[in-house]
Amino acid sequence: MKTKQIGMAIIAGAFIFSACGMGGQKKSEEQSEETKSAKVEEAAPLNGLTEEEKADGWMLLFNGENFDGWRGYNKETVPGAWTIDDNAIKINGSGEGEAGAEDGGDIIYDQKFKNFELKFDWKVSKGGNSGVFYMAREFEELPIYRSAPEYQILDNENHLDARLGVDGNRQSASLYDLIPAKPQNSKGFGEWNTGTIIVYKGTVIHMQNGEVVLEYHLWTPEWEEMIENSKFKGWTEMINAGGEERMGYIGLQDHGDDVWFRNVKLKVME
């Protein structure tokens, strides 16, 4: 009888061990599937869309090869200072700021957008300065920044602008000279950063490297007051960003420095 009980115990133990082994194998298989999934996500093509992004309505604003869809502000073609460099849009800076541009100037994507989410990667040369404009309109006698809010692009460590303005509102991802980006989490010159701009029924969000850094609201009394208490005082074109249509162009700034953009993509939000 005792022998039988010992035998039963051994069989039971073997069953438990086997079951645990199977459970471990199943868990391992599940982890393997999760790892595969993560790898698929990481393998999103440079300047391309994943199948999920395509299904979700994202569109590429830059294909990595040419300037299809882009032109100069108040121009029909892209100025020669803008080139394609290592699968990125590059502004080859004059080294003399905005005033020194030779065959340069700001460029826009030739389609207006209303409610949208815009994503892009950016990097700057040492001391680099640029910006991403949105809700912009074209005026023959006015520069793009008169009508458009600006997502600041900057080498915070080496460009003088980072020390100017108020409370860091000229540092990267800030609403230029109006609202500082907090937390300030940009990477140094020569490194790629990710930026996101969301505009939805007047609510605007800036993100930098995966974090929300500011929020504000267009076309409100607070917005008008903020403009009137800034160096943009009297700029009715900016107060009425997007005009009566409440829509405008996406623009990239030539501020006289070498700056690169890639993975520029946009989703229209209804």
User: pLDDT-based confidence at 34, cuts 50/70/90?
Assistant: low
End-to-end CA distance of the chain: 77
Across the range 188-212, mean pLDDT stands at 98
Strand order in the sheet with 150-154: 70-72, 107-109, 249-252, 129-136, 150-154
Instruction: Quote the mean pLDDT of the chain.
Output: 88
Residue 102 is predicted with a pLDDT of 79
Token pair, residue 209, equals: 């490297």
Q: What is the mean pLDDT of residues 201-226?
A: 98
Is the pTM of the predicted complex or chain greater than 0.75?
yes
Return the minimum-mean-pLDDT range out of 23-27, 105-109, 131-135, 200-204.
Answer: 23-27
Give the C-alpha separation, 196 to 119, whole Å.
5
What the block records as the tokens of 266 is 């946009």
Q: Quick check: 31 pLDDT over 60?
A: no
Average pLDDT over residues 224-250: 97
Cβ neighbours of residue 207 under 8 Å, at least 6 residues apart? Answer: 173, 194, 195, 196, 197, 198, 213
Distance in angstroms (rounded) separating the CA atoms of residues 215 and 224: 15
Q: State the pLDDT confidence band at 15, using cuts at 50, 70 and 90.
A: very low
